Structure 1
Amino acid sequence: MSIEKIDLQIAYGAVKHFGRNLYTSNPPAITELIANSWDAYCTECNIFYNDIENDGDKKTSLLIVDDGIGMTDEELSGRYAISGTEKNTDSVRRPDGITLRPYMGRKGIGKFSAFSLGDSYVLYTKSDIDTQWKKMIFNYELLLEDRPTVPIAVEYIDSLQELKKFFPDLEENTTGTIVYIPEMRRKIISSSIEGLKNLISRRFSINVINNHDFSLKINSEIVDLSQHFYDDNLEFVYYFGTELEEIKQRFPNIPENNFYKEDDEFFTNYSISGWLGTVEIPSQLLADENISISGVTVYIHGKLADEDILRDKLKNRITNSYFLGEVNADFLQNEEDPVLSSREGLNKEIPNVKLLIEKLSKISNKLNANWNNLRANRVREKLNYLDKMLSTDSGLGTAFKFYSEEQQKQVAKLAQRVFDNDEKYSDAEYRVYGQAIFALVNNKVINEITIDTDTDTFGEILEKFYSLFEKTELNAALRMKSNIEDRISIINKLKLIIDDEEVESVFEEHLAKNPWLINQYWDKPSNEIVIETQNKYKAIIQERKVSGRTDIITKVADEPYPIICELKREKVTAYSTPEISEITNQIYKYRRFISDEINRSNNPLRISNTKDIKAYFICGEKSKEKLEDLDLIELKNNNIELKTYQEIIRQAERVYSDRVRE
């Protein structure tokens, strides 16, 4: 006699934890249902999704269909309805002619992942002893009830016609199980099917899936389970628990000398196999347009158990952007609760999990330590950043040609550390960093030159001197060129500040950092020039409660007293006449304050006239044009030099005119 209901075990609402909030994205939840199909010895699992109109609103519906063994009445009541207890996998029916599979499920909670996909799901199942399909509807609200079990009615139907009207490509198998999500909580975008295939495929171990008759399709498109989407992009691989020929079959595009075997008794004793490696560029880890994967995945019996077992270890640019790995650790299935109930990964309190993390961390650290050298020693065709650096600056390109092979390797290694990070660099950055790289290599050569007056012949000493002078002169030229380019960049930034009509504090900050813009002899840093920003004076002024503020107070070695600079920001459209009386009064206050400070100090210098303290008033050309002759006389009489931003720019460009024209 057919059953009319099953008693779904919910343990007074405890199993709600395994439903709605367990997964925050579709792929892991779908994977749990696929794993159930695997355990049911299905040979073909099909996933269908489409948008269905419902009361004028479009909803995405999902269908997961398998041709597995289905469930008998006894299995439905005694296995599917029971949750949270260890399953006896030895009693699972296996069809004739099908190889024994490693069982992916453990405690019967994978079915609740359907509630992460939708608020309800419909289950259809049919075994080889059934004449009809059994149909059951599960609602999430049932999991919240305060009782041990809830009854789920079982309906019997002759065909799947009710599903075919929504999914016309559905083929009715003689046996199997179907999970139908009428309305998904998170939509699946049609354009992301490739990303969905990539993400789902990665959640299954190739080592396991490839050894069994099992295929997967999404909307009739085959999901390639023989490789993962990043396989063709791996560049360096550290492998363990397997042989070179086997790992080469997985990654045929990698040269043999880019494989590195790791031997450890721990891997051997527990039959752990896997690899850690890096891709060529970070974008090759994009499973979908907006989803990048990295980290070391651990599989148990072919199903992902931890997305990144090294997530708590120190991360860096390499591990975040280039690094990934896969580990098959079936021995953990024998541990008590190896996977956290939250499905966040392996339980790191288990000693063997801790030991696995320790072993993998050592390999990861080795790969990280060697990564720069591995990348720098690649074939020249892959060092595009080096060619870009050399072509951007013809002088560097010429020098590189005359370098020894060892020096060229040093340049390549340094360039790799600077530019090999998948970031965009301007031509100016290639020039500046390139010059610094060559300077470092040249300095190394200089430091290695030794002259032994007892053994070196006159010709050998002369040759070493020639080499020394050549490197020293090149370094001086590189430093000068780099300095000029920096100055041009600072001048151009001042132009941009004017064009953008920045607030006054931006002008102040830029000129305070680069006082040579005001006066080309106020350079920094050198032993002869001392620069003090306004910060020191601001603190003292505030303590003395002097009203008002000045923009820049700078101390340079060329002047006996601090220099005062008062600024008015440049405006392109609206200009007001500067209040010269306010400016002169403000500068007088600070001249007086500085005079008092100096005269009270132990400094032998004394100030008898506040006008001896140099002062500048800086404004835009349009503001200067508004000044009357009497205003200019007032400034001159107070020993206040007037400068415009445009004059500052023209003065600076005259100094570097040759470089500007270039």
Structure 2
Amino acid sequence: MSRLTFSIANNAVTHLGRNLYSTTPPALAELVANSYDAYATEVNIVLSNDAISIIDNGKGLDFQEFESKYARIGSTKQREEPFNGLAERKPMGKKGIGKLAAFSLGSTYTVYSKTRDTDRWLGFTLQYQDMINSETYPVEVEETDLPEKFAAYSRYQSGFIVDITDIRRKITVATRENIKIQLSRRFYINQAKSSFLLKVDGEELKLDSNSYYDKLQYMVYLGYENEEILREKFPNVILEEYQQIDTIKKYFCSQNIKGWIGTTYKPKDLKNNEGSSFANIIILANGKIADEDILKSKPNARIANNYIVGEIEADEFIEKLNDPITSSRQGLDDSISEVEELINYLDSVRKYVIERWDDMRQNHAIANLPERIKNNPSYKDWLESLTDPQKKINNKLLDLLSSKLDDEISVDATAVDSMVTSISSVINNIEADDLIASFDKESDAEVQFDLLFKLMDNISKTEDLNHSNLIRKRLSAIEELERLMSETNTPEKLFERHLSDNPWLIMPYWNIDRNIIDETDYLKNQRYFRLDMDENNFRKNFLDILIRVAEETYPIIVELKKNTAVGYAKVGFTDIYNQITNYRRAMIQKIPDLIDVKEKDIKVIFILSEDTGLPGKGHSIELNDSEIKMLEDQNISLLKYNKILAEAKKMYREHLKYQREAKIIPDLSIDCE
């Protein structure tokens, strides 16, 4: 047994270990980088609920190397001689602080190390709590055999194991998958040439490709002598060498920096199962991430930014910088002028990629629509009627819609149809504004006369379009009523809400706009009136809908029962008459304007299940002719849901036919050919 003393100063264990890594993958990446620098050809990461272990078959360290290298925190990393006949590897680490990443993962870790010159392993344990307040920290190093859980690695002639316990973050199934994805992206190593294998729980990770590679659509590259190198890796991607600004192109060549910025088909192509996004541009140095998001100081709110990813290799550039890594260990220090210059140039390249992305998306905007829309005959006819400027506007607006459709959040088909048809309204209005502007600028009378005719024609189209939009909204309301009727368990409250939002369904001339009218007037839901009975007795009355219209002298009561004739919805003549009588009397008592009004002067519409009819016809709710007549004599009209639906459809059938024939707006209700 020998004593090894760690040299620690200025709370280095906390600042350079515990607080340096906010998540598990970057901390693991530091430990894997140490294994790579030690010329390991195989690294195994084993994850469990109580431990994280990193095992490699690299050179290992003997006691003297522990003293001169491992125990000196923050000293410049010493060059390692090639091992196992491997070519020289440029070191991923520089400051010798990666070892402290283990304290970001757990509070205790045990090291096992073996070199080819020793028969047994050396082992010692470090405790975070014991190290945080010390400038020196002695530990006992002893020769040992590997614990049983590492028995499979006893065959290694040399190697290094870090076994982390008292782990800080729970390892779930989702965490495991995220670690694999993140580690794959944190390294770019040609595994065939470097003879380097990384496994997580026995699964080999690819370190020369990423999960989004086969989802890339378009790519701008810099610093490569030719595109064939990229063509082998990205055979189906549209490749373009950056040529826009010569200064930028020459800069990347002179600095020996190469890489690419590309776009994917959809934003979700750049997200993993935990929702983390790879929509950023990374900087790699000697095969390892040096910056997770180089343009984080240059935020871009464009939609295109959700589709953009990039990888830049800058080995020599970073090697020449003086301590380029920030204190967060997450990126390059942008206060260094050389780093700032790189950021500005990459931002310019990204802007160019966004411009090209915009052009490509707009040119293929119609192709990105759902099949049922782009193959719709009415939509095809409408597209053919557009002028070239209108087509350009249409493509630009459709591009915004396509971005929404690309999102992982599902969009209702009805909402998509509504957005597509609304675009036609926008196009027409824009054309009208352009005509008015041209009319004001033009002084030639003959040209003005021609513009005037075009403007009048456009106004006529706009009126037809507004009428068309109104009809479509009403058709949508009819479809919703039909849906509510078809569902046997629809609550009465939903019928009440829908009919109060669309009172014209009950009576065509009731056209109340609830959005602009004061709440105390015209339309109320569940209006409460207390009916005073004899001997201080009271009865509560909640009216489903109370409506005032210009065509009626007094407020109108609308009472609804749900469309299924069960429970309290199953009513008879007596139920209807008594309920309405109480409503009317309560209103007369509480509304001053009605104090001298006769009860039957207050109009009532009672809406019943469609399964209502004459006795002997098999209806669940039966009312005979005399009962219906008595209710009508009392100014109480009975209305069935199926009657409302039939009348509404009949009313708007001709409007719909006109719309389809005029082709003013695409009719997406027509079946595809």
TM-score by length of structure 2 reads 0.72
**Corresponding position of 1:552:** 545
In structure 2, C-alpha distance between the alignment counterparts of 1:34 and 1:644, rounded to whole Å:
73
In structure 2, C-alpha distance between the alignment counterparts of 1:245 and 1:315, rounded to whole Å:
28
Relative to structure 1, is the Cα distance of residues 627 and 475 closer, same or farther in structure 2, using a 3 angstrom cutoff? closer
Query: Is residue 402 of structure 2 the alignment partner of residue 419 of structure 1?
Result: yes
**Corresponding position of 2:310:** 325
In structure 2, C-alpha distance between the alignment counterparts of 1:358 and 1:557, rounded to whole Å:
66
In structure 1, C-alpha distance between the alignment counterparts of 2:126 and 2:485, rounded to whole Å:
66
**Corresponding position of 2:71:** 81
Relative to structure 1, is the Cα distance of residues 114 and 257 closer, same or farther in structure 2, using a 3 angstrom cutoff? closer
In structure 2, C-alpha distance between the alignment counterparts of 1:142 and 1:366, rounded to whole Å:
51
Pairs within 5 Å for 1:331-346 = 331=318, 334=321, 338-341=325-328, 343=329
Query: Is residue 373 of structure 2 the alignment partner of residue 389 of structure 1?
Result: yes
Query: Is residue 217 of structure 2 the alignment partner of residue 235 of structure 1?
Result: yes
**Corresponding position of 1:655:** 651
Relative to structure 1, is the Cα distance of residues 466 and 281 closer, same or farther in structure 2, using a 3 angstrom cutoff? same
User: Unaligned regions of 5+ residues in structure 1, if any?
Assistant: 52-57, 600-606
Q: Report deviation, 1:34.
A: 1.1
User: What per-residue deviation string (whole Å, max 9, x for no partner) do you get for residues 196-252 of structure 1?
Assistant: 54421211256xx68983623326765433333323432334556667748855655
Relative to structure 1, is the Cα distance of residues 580 and 254 closer, same or farther in structure 2, using a 3 angstrom cutoff? same
**Corresponding position of 1:38:** 36
Q: Report deviation, 1:519.
A: 1.3
Query: Is residue 112 of structure 2 the alignment partner of residue 124 of structure 1?
Result: yes
Q: Report deviation, 1:634.
A: 7.3
Relative to structure 1, is the Cα distance of residues 201 and 491 closer, same or farther in structure 2, using a 3 angstrom cutoff? same
**Corresponding position of 1:500:** 489
Relative to structure 1, is the Cα distance of residues 204 and 555 closer, same or farther in structure 2, using a 3 angstrom cutoff? farther
Query: Is residue 410 of structure 2 the alignment partner of residue 434 of structure 1?
Result: no
Relative to structure 1, is the Cα distance of residues 216 and 518 closer, same or farther in structure 2, using a 3 angstrom cutoff? same
What is the letter of the counterpart of residue 481 of structure 2?
I
Q: Which secondary structure does the structure 2 equivalent of 1:385 belong to?
A: coil
Q: Report deviation, 1:149.
A: 3.8
Pairs within 5 Å for 1:142-291 = 143=130, 146-157=133-144, 165-166=151-152, 172-173=156-157, 175-180=158-163, 186-187=170-171, 196-205=179-188, 213=194, 215-218=196-199, 223-238=205-220, 245=227, 248=230, 251=234, 253-257=236-240, 261=244, 263-264=247-248, 274-287=259-272
Query: Is residue 348 of structure 2 the alignment partner of residue 374 of structure 1?
Result: no
In structure 1, C-alpha distance between the alignment counterparts of 2:34 and 2:581, rounded to whole Å:
85
1:104 to 93, 96, 111: 93
1:513 to 457, 481, 501: 501
Alignment length, in residue pairs? 622
2:288 to 292, 300, 303: 303
Relative to structure 1, is the Cα distance of residues 501 and 239 closer, same or farther in structure 2, using a 3 angstrom cutoff? same
2:2 to 1, 4, 10: 4
In structure 2, C-alpha distance between the alignment counterparts of 1:417 and 1:82, rounded to whole Å:
56
**Corresponding position of 1:94:** 81
Of residues 216-225 and 516-525 in structure 1, the stretch that sits farther from structure 2 once superposed is 216-225
In structure 1, C-alpha distance between the alignment counterparts of 2:516 and 2:553, rounded to whole Å:
11
Pairs within 5 Å for 1:583-598 = 583-590=580-587, 596=593
User: What per-residue deviation string (whole Å, max 9, x for no partner) do you get for residues 274-320 of structure 1?
Assistant: 54432112342244586553233344554334433555776758367
Q: 1:443 touches 1:471 (CA, 8 Å); kept in 2?
A: no
What is the letter of the counterpart of residue 34 of structure 1?
V
In structure 2, C-alpha distance between the alignment counterparts of 1:322 and 1:19, rounded to whole Å:
34
Relative to structure 1, is the Cα distance of residues 515 and 635 closer, same or farther in structure 2, using a 3 angstrom cutoff? same
What is the letter of the counterpart of residue 78 of structure 1?
S
Relative to structure 1, is the Cα distance of residues 390 and 146 closer, same or farther in structure 2, using a 3 angstrom cutoff? closer
Relative to structure 1, is the Cα distance of residues 398 and 534 closer, same or farther in structure 2, using a 3 angstrom cutoff? same
Q: Which secondary structure does the structure 1 equivalent of 2:369 belong to?
A: helix
**Corresponding position of 1:54:** none
Q: Which secondary structure does the structure 1 equivalent of 2:113 belong to?
A: strand
In structure 2, C-alpha distance between the alignment counterparts of 1:12 and 1:191, rounded to whole Å:
33
Identity %: 28
In structure 2, C-alpha distance between the alignment counterparts of 1:537 and 1:411, rounded to whole Å:
39
Backbone CA RMSD of aligned residues: 5.4
TM-score by length of structure 1 reads 0.73
Q: 2:492 touches 2:560 (CA, 8 Å); kept in 1?
A: no
Q: Report deviation, 1:65.
A: 0.7
Q: Report deviation, 1:258.
A: 8.3
What is the letter of the counterpart of residue 199 of structure 1?
Q
Q: Report deviation, 1:525.
A: 6.5
What is the letter of the counterpart of residue 226 of structure 1?
D
Q: 2:223 touches 2:249 (CA, 8 Å); kept in 1?
A: no
Q: 1:373 touches 1:413 (CA, 8 Å); kept in 2?
A: no
